[in-house]
Amino acid sequence: MSDPVYIVGLDIGTTKIACIVGEKMPNGKIEIRGYGKTESTGVKRGMVFNIEETVDAIKRAVAEASEQSKVEIKSVNVGIAGHHIKSLQHRGVLIRENADVEISDQELDKLRQDMYKIGVSPGEEIINVIPQEYIVDGEVGVRPKGMVGNKIEANFHVIIGQTSAVKNIIKCIEHAGLEMENMILEPIASAAAVLGEDEKEAGVAIVDIGGGTTDIAVFYDSIIYHTAVIPFGGNIITEDIRQGCSIIKKHAEEIKVKFGSAVASENSEDEVVSIPGIRGREPKEISFKNLANIIQARLEEIFDLVNFEIQKVNSEHKLIAGIVLTGGGAMMKHIRQLAEFKTGLEVRLGYPNEYLANETSEDLASPLYSTGIGLVIEGIAKYENDLRRGKSEGIANGPVKSVVADTANNVNVEDEEEGETRTSNFSLGSIITTISKIFKSENLDKDITDK
């Protein structure tokens, strides 16, 4: 009997940092062996602004997850978001030397790797390249492996981010004594946790409302067509309440969570909450309706921006499955009704419990942990793909395997640096893994490895 394989996901969010250790069971479900959560004080709008505070929070979350799971955590799959993230579509072409030879994985890998050479603005890097569809000799929507043909084309979804933001996350991981296997765009991870394959085929948008950002990913015909990050989330609603009601931030967050509503008309002026005064001052009474008015105004702005992003795809491909809301902000009362009113699409709440074992605690089955659980799911999918392709033969030794989750469509490639596959050796056994190329510049690579 082989040793169990554990996958570790690390969600570095604006309000929380969550570390989750998972294992895939024989029935296909994911069993969470342990998790840790700490408050995030060094991140704003999905971007690290204080390395020291973020590193301390990561260490605490990892230590808690390690203690619960009885696993020594060495490497993690990390989520990335932030308003600097943007995406574009690009087509690649490969003319084959011998049209009678079957198309190989290596040729598809080369086609994808070529996308990392496209020009981006100064200070930006290509974080990930996701294949959307392949075309062989003009035949669209084929599965090219094993086919024959003269020309292979592919449409790719290219995700771009700021180099400095990416490097800061890497520095945090390394200063915390961990190895980063791969960065995964957070809405893609959330989609893996809460979306069904039928929804992706019909057309669906996942909207993950976090503390600092609202992340969007749009799928149609099981292909990811668009990703975006809106720089507003639950924290800006808390700030609106703090200013609108003239109370401190702690009380604003408490009444938002306990008494907040996304639709003011569903609340009464007669229902009030009393907020303690500061240093002997008289307490303040805030009506539920006034509170909801503040929340609704900001959420309407967020959903207007969400709708703008969705219409970039929805005008061409109808989203039959509508919108799936997830993340901590999705737990707001009446938010589904407001989202349906503002977007005109059907809306449901997304819980990451479909892929979890029945023994999983109710806390983890909350939309709050969709991204963290999605990181684990994507990592498991990549590990299994590597096994099927023979890359991971002989790596079953050692209690921890945290592997790369490469794309939403589970298309995996071998990362090459001048024709050689990069490998990582761990003290817990010989673990051979592929690491996605984030930095092409030798200077940037040197800056990271020489820390």
Q: pLDDT, tens digit, for every residue of 329-383?
A: 999 999 999 999 999 999 999 999 888 887 778 788 899 999 999 999 998 888 8
DSSP 351: -
Q: pLDDT, tens digit, for every residue of 121-161?
A: 999 999 989 999 999 999 998 999 899 999 999 999 999 99
389 token code pair? 């392709």
Cα(153)–Cα(98) distance, rounded to whole angstroms?
Answer: 16
The mean pLDDT of 90-101, rounded to a whole number, is 93
Q: Among 176-180, 315-319, 439-443, where is mean pLDDT lowest?
A: 439-443
Domain edges within the chain: 7-83+163-190+354-449, 86-160, 197-352
With residue 76 as reference, give the H or E element that holds it: strand 75-80
Q: What is the mean pLDDT of the chain?
A: 84
Residue 391 has what pLDDT? 52
Q: Does the pLDDT value for residue 442 go beyond 60?
A: no
Q: Does the pLDDT value for residue 11 go beyond 90?
A: yes
Q: Please count the other Cβ atoms lying within 10 Å of the Cβ belonging to residue 367.
A: 24
Sign of CA dihedral 283, 288, 289, 290: positive
* CATH topology for the 86-160 domain: Dna Ligase; domain 1 (3.30.1490)
Sign of CA dihedral 214, 43, 353, 386: positive
pTM for the model stands at 0.81
Residue 32 has what pLDDT? 92
DSSP β-ladder status, 16-24 and 214-220: unpaired
378 token code pair? 């994507």
With residue 23 as reference, give the H or E element that holds it: strand 16-24
298 token code pair? 């900001």
Q: How confident is the model at residue 425 (pLDDT cuts 50, 70, 90)?
A: very low
Residue 434 has what pLDDT? 34
Q: Among 43-47, 86-90, 95-99, 386-390, where is mean pLDDT lowest?
A: 386-390
Cα(254)–Cα(236) distance, rounded to whole angstroms?
Answer: 14
Which residue in the block uniquely carries the two structure tokens 């993230």? 85
For the domain covering 7-83+163-190+354-449, report its CATH number.
Answer: 3.30.420.40
Q: pLDDT, tens digit, for every residue of 372-419?
A: 999 999 988 888 877 776 653 333 333 344 433 333 333 333 333 333
Q: Are 187 and 363 in contact (CB under 8 A)?
A: no
Residue 2 has what pLDDT? 62
H-state helical runs in 260-360: 288-314, 335-343
Q: Do domains 86-160 and 197-352 have the same CATH topology?
A: no
Q: How confident is the model at residue 215 (pLDDT cuts 50, 70, 90)?
A: very high
Residue 354 has what pLDDT? 84
Residue 331 has what pLDDT? 94
Cα(325)–Cα(329) distance, rounded to whole angstroms?
Answer: 9
At the fourth CATH level, the homologous superfamily of domain 197-352 is ATPase, nucleotide binding domain (3.30.420.40)
Looking at per-residue confidence, does 317 or 177 come out higher? Answer: 177
